Amino acid sequence: MLSVVQDFELFFTPPCGRDGYCSCVSRLVLPGSAQLIGCSPPPFEDALPLKTLTQSERADRLRQLSENTTYFRRKLREMGFIIYGNDDSPVVPMMLYMPAKIGAFGREMLKRNIGTVVVGFPATPIIESRARFCVSAAHSREMLDTALAATDEVGDLLQLKYSRREQPLPSGWMTEESLLQD
């Protein structure tokens, strides 16, 4: 028998609906277990306003979704995380690699009130564990910055910044070349 445990809206939850908006989901679990069985479809009432959007409003939402996606991906890369997927996709897989860090990342993000989806074996190869963020047009820059700050903090805590890309130096630091020129 399935029972609804709690209805809530996560900060980052796949899949995003039309026009880049994510819907409220319900977690369905077996009694006495914490296993996620599935998500309910969005309520009919949630779909009604989408039919009344003008062409201009849809274009604005798609533009906002594109801006949010580009901003979020760029900031994660600048922080030193390895990001997979298409640069235009609002689904942002961030590599965790170590299976032992899957649960720790999810719990640490929840402590900071950020819901993320963490994925590991058998859904991915055993050493390609990841966290998956879904960016929405409804996210404000402030919301994205809050999520990025929490991800940065947890990334440092769990040592998840694996990128070998050259990271920008903090302001006020001098490069080797500038030191050698003096």
Nearest Cα to Cα of residue 89 among 56, 122, 65: 65
Q: What are phi and psi of 131, to 5 degrees?
A: -105, 140
pLDDT of amino acid 132: 92
Contact between residue 97 and residue 81 where contact means Cβ atoms under 8 Å apart = no
Q: What are phi and psi of 31, to 5 degrees?
A: -55, 135
Residue extents of the structural domains in the chain = 3-51+65-158
Whole-number percent of the chain with pLDDT over 90: 38
Contact between residue 73 and residue 89 where contact means Cβ atoms under 8 Å apart = no
Q: Which amino acid is at 15?
A: P
Nearest Cα to Cα of residue 69 among 91, 40, 49: 91
- Burial of 14: CB neighbours in 10 Å, binned 0-12, 13-18, 19+: middle
User: Is the peptide bond between 125 and the residue preceding it cis, with omega within 30 degrees of 0?
Assistant: no
- What are the helix (H) ranges across 2-85? 44-51, 55-79
pLDDT of amino acid 96: 92
Q: What pTM was computed for the model?
A: 0.64
Contact between residue 29 and residue 3 where contact means Cβ atoms under 8 Å apart = yes
The stretches in the chain having pLDDT less than 70 are 1-51, 165-182
| Collapsed DSSP state (helix, strand, coil) of residue 6 | strand
Structural tokens at position 125: 């190869």
Contact between residue 82 and residue 162 where contact means Cβ atoms under 8 Å apart = yes
pLDDT of amino acid 29: 37
The angle formed by the CA atoms of residues 60, 24 and 111, to the nearest 5 degrees, is 105
Q: Name the CATH topology of 3-51+65-158.
A: Aspartate Aminotransferase, domain 1 (3.90.1150)
Compute how many other C-beta atoms are within 10 angstroms of the C-beta atom of residue 46.
13
pLDDT of amino acid 37: 44
pLDDT of amino acid 57: 86
Round to whole Å and give the CA distance between 84 and 151: 16
pLDDT of amino acid 127: 87
